[in-house]
Structure 1
Amino acid sequence: MIYLDNSATTQPKKEVLDAFVKASEQFYANPASLHVMGNQAEDLLESARSQLKELLNMDRIVFTSGGTEANNLALIGTAKSYQHRGKHIVTAATEHPSVLNSLAALEQQGFEVTRLPVGHHGEIDVDELKNSLRSDTILVSLMHVNNEIGTIHPISEIARLLKKRRIIFHVDAVQSIGKLAFDPSSMPDLLSVSGHKVHGLKGSGLLAYSGVELQAIQYGGGQESGIRGGTVSVPNAVALAKALRLAKPNPLHLQWNKTLRQFFSEFDGVKIVSPEGAAPHILAVAVKGIKGEILVSGLQKESIIVSTSSACSSKSRDTSHVIQAIGLPREFKDGVMRISFGAFTTEQDISALQSAFQRVYRIIKGV
């Protein structure tokens, strides 16, 4: 099988697995224990934390189970800590469900949420964002790269804007970390990362932050400076640090993205959904009048693995909120499929996808 669904999850790199196994075998003691083995495990944990602080240019790191938990902690922990300043939060309509559902829960507790609309390419209007800010706005939360269509938000520009107004800025960087470059001079206040999106392990992630105080949303024995209770997985932390040290933008992704854009534009009734200038590792396309599940199934029979626009909703067959928000024409909105590259993608994989799609398209269209 040729795997082109890397925005859903990635194959762990061998170096990451080796780091996890070594830590599991040799540093399995509880890092909170007072004995020598516990101290050794704690030293390794703090070494991983220090590496990540330096890598991300952030002051504090809390290890989490992944991006969803990191987003929950960022939003709920910040909102509760700063509610004395106000209860207004701004986000976009196309955010990940872990953000939208966390904010919906906060609304039930008296917070007010503004969900900015997006254009046909999934982009927010920065001027509209400015106009949405109020004296009681305490937090803005935006993803750097949209997980379904690859739209990139100008987070550096927004970070500078919000810093002047003393408004906290959270960025869901799950789809961008290790794939796009960050401007270290204009980082957000909070940054969510997931290990399994960067050839790390499922069940690993982090929330990085600077200059912000969080209120805990999970209680236990005071681990992670009291922010996240529960025994910390040292092997997961070590593996995550390894994965992020290895992760870097791949210039071939942009080349392949351009090649496939040209390829798909030559088919009648096929629409490129991802905007020009989107993240190079994600390409969403739609076939007129055809359900995305049919495309995914047809390509799978050709040994090509892709997905519909999102794989984060337990195999839901409903049209995603992102596709609805960008106003994709009715005849295309059910036929979206997402192709996403990773570190193990090759030129041969791209050629195989092209050949397979030609065969599937002919069968579906009866030509």
Structure 2
Amino acid sequence: MDRLIYLDNAATTRTAPEVVEAMLPYFSESYGNPSSVYSFAAKNKDAVTGTRETIAKILGADTSEIYFTAGGTESDNWALKAAAEAYASKGKHIITTKIEHHAILHTGAYLEKRGYEVTYLDVDENGVVSPAAVEAAIRPDTILISVMFANNEIGTIEPIREIGQIARAHGVLFHTDAVQAFGQIPIRVDDCCIDMLSASGHKLNGPKGIGFLYIRKGVKIRSFIHGGAQERKRRAGTENVPGIIGLGAAAQRAARSMEERTAKERELRDHLIGRVLAEIPYSRLNGHPTDRLPNNANFSFRFIEGESLLIMLDMKGICASSGSACTSGSLDPSHVLLAIGLPHEIAHGSLRLTLGEETTREDIDYVVDALKEIVARLRDMSPLYEDFVKKNRQ
């Protein structure tokens, strides 16, 4: 393999060198347990508090509203399960969408087995959920609305501010899975009337195994992990100090570089989309054409299988995906692509390319040239494509 082009940054990102550097002392030098009372450990407690302050400032939140977790999946589980339990006396109805990450969808299924009712809202052909549909689904027993900030597969940014305002007006808790959005687009929790927000470190050039859940003051939510007084008695377990420090460094770095970095990503993304749609016949862009994450491009190619496409791209040193990394290995087409109305045979031929700060225009051109060659080769082997061409010649 002559080169490696990594275009799967929605799955995970490279931990930035300065983030690693910030973490290193907390493995072998400042290794004290933050819950201990002596001064050696107190330094780590202060460092953890510093990260809490950093994240709170980025979100426009209070320091006490940030709780560290093991990542986005845990944060989503905590938000739904603990809120459902805490507000069960008010009602057992939850609203979400059909295109959420499986951390939300599977948690919803778990709650349904325990007597809760979950409404899964449709989205339009671009993957956008209608705020009016959200409002129409609210009932007297609705206790929680959970809508992701931006979709992890097709990149569509949802109308979170409008949905938050609707939830607030009806006195319903509002949670958003911002795992893909945090660090990529500006988020202010007060502006969007957000009560809970999930995020993960490894999506923004931070370490894996660390994330946070923002919980607005006054939200009645139960402890998720029991066994200690950490995270103000809501999430027991010795703090992952190196991970927390890395998360803080990555969040600060992402906020500082966001404007310049995302402008570059948008330019390259649009160049990628333009070339693919113009030069590869029977291709389509999935997701909203403009209201999408700066680094996301998701395509469907008719008459090919996504798995074969990924293998052949890998042989050329290109790392990509057909959807969420959490469902890799599944033979089923993406639930997101089916939800926006794609038939199975087209959804199977999908490709997600997510750019990073190191992606260059040369990389994009290499990938498009490779895609043109691979798609043509796969179609040459497809009897469906052969029949299609014959019919169109008649």
Q: Secondary structure at the match of 2:24?
A: helix
| Preserved contact between residue 145 and residue 152 of structure 1 (Cα < 8 Å) | yes
Offset of residue 150 of structure 1: 0.8
Give the aligned residue type for 1:165.
H
In the alignment, does 2:124 pair up with 1:119? yes
Q: Secondary structure at the match of 2:8?
A: coil
Superimposed CA distance per residue, residues 225-255 of structure 1 (whole angstroms, 9 cap, x where no aligned partner): 1111110111111110110111125101211
Instruction: Supply the distance in 2 between the matched residues of 1:258 and 1:91 (Cα, whole angstroms).
Output: 30
| Preserved contact between residue 10 and residue 196 of structure 1 (Cα < 8 Å) | yes
Superimposed CA distance per residue, residues 94-134 of structure 1 (whole angstroms, 9 cap, x where no aligned partner): 10101111111111221111110111211112111111001
Pairing 1:181-220 to 2, within 5 Å after superposition = 181-183=186-188, 184-211=190-217, 212-220=219-227
Instruction: Supply the distance in 1 between the matched residues of 2:101 and 2:131 (Cα, whole angstroms).
Output: 19
Give the counterpart of 1:14 among 8, 14, 17. Answer: 17
Superimposed CA distance per residue, residues 5-30 of structure 1 (whole angstroms, 9 cap, x where no aligned partner): 00000011011111111222332111
Instruction: Supply the distance in 2 between the matched residues of 1:251 and 1:314 (Cα, whole angstroms).
Output: 30
Larger gyration radius, structure 1 or structure 2: 2
| Structure 1 runs not aligned, ≥5 long | none
Instruction: Supply the distance in 1 between the matched residues of 2:331 and 2:25 (Cα, whole angstroms).
Output: 41
Query: Percent identity over the alignment?
Result: 36
Superimposed CA distance per residue, residues 129-173 of structure 1 (whole angstroms, 9 cap, x where no aligned partner): 111001111110011111111111110111112111211100000
Q: Secondary structure at the match of 2:191?
A: helix
Count, aligned residues = 367
| Structure 2 runs not aligned, ≥5 long | 382-394
Give the aligned residue type for 1:130.
E
Superimposed CA distance per residue, residues 308-335 of structure 1 (whole angstroms, 9 cap, x where no aligned partner): 1221124222112112211213431110
Superimposed CA distance per residue, residues 337-367 of structure 1 (whole angstroms, 9 cap, x where no aligned partner): 1000112222221121112112212322339
**TM superposition score normalised by structure 1:** 0.96
In the alignment, does 2:274 pair up with 1:253? no
Offset of residue 187 of structure 1: 4.1
Q: CA RMSD in A?
A: 1.5
Instruction: Supply the distance in 2 between the matched residues of 1:157 and 1:39 (Cα, whole angstroms).
Output: 42
Pairing 1:78-157 to 2, within 5 Å after superposition = 78-157=83-162
Give the counterpart of 2:30 among 27, 32, 40. Answer: 27
| Preserved contact between residue 174 and residue 193 of structure 2 (Cα < 8 Å) | no
Give the counterpart of 2:288 among 251, 257, 275. Answer: 275
Partner of 2:342: 328
Greater Cα shift, 91-100 or 259-268: 259-268
Instruction: Supply the distance in 1 between the matched residues of 2:212 and 2:372 (Cα, whole angstroms).
Output: 41
| Preserved contact between residue 310 and residue 321 of structure 2 (Cα < 8 Å) | yes
Instruction: Detail structure 1 runs of 4+ shifted over 6 Å in the superposition.
Output: none
| Preserved contact between residue 304 and residue 356 of structure 1 (Cα < 8 Å) | no
Q: Secondary structure at the match of 1:293?
A: helix
Instruction: Supply the distance in 2 between the matched residues of 1:329 and 1:259 (Cα, whole angstroms).
Output: 27
Greater Cα shift, 238-247 or 46-55: 46-55
**TM superposition score normalised by structure 2:** 0.90
| Preserved contact between residue 268 and residue 360 of structure 2 (Cα < 8 Å) | no
Greater Cα shift, 248-257 or 98-107: 248-257
Give the counterpart of 1:72 among 77, 90, 94. Answer: 77
Instruction: Supply the distance in 1 between the matched residues of 2:200 and 2:175 (Cα, whole angstroms).
Output: 15
| Preserved contact between residue 94 and residue 143 of structure 2 (Cα < 8 Å) | yes
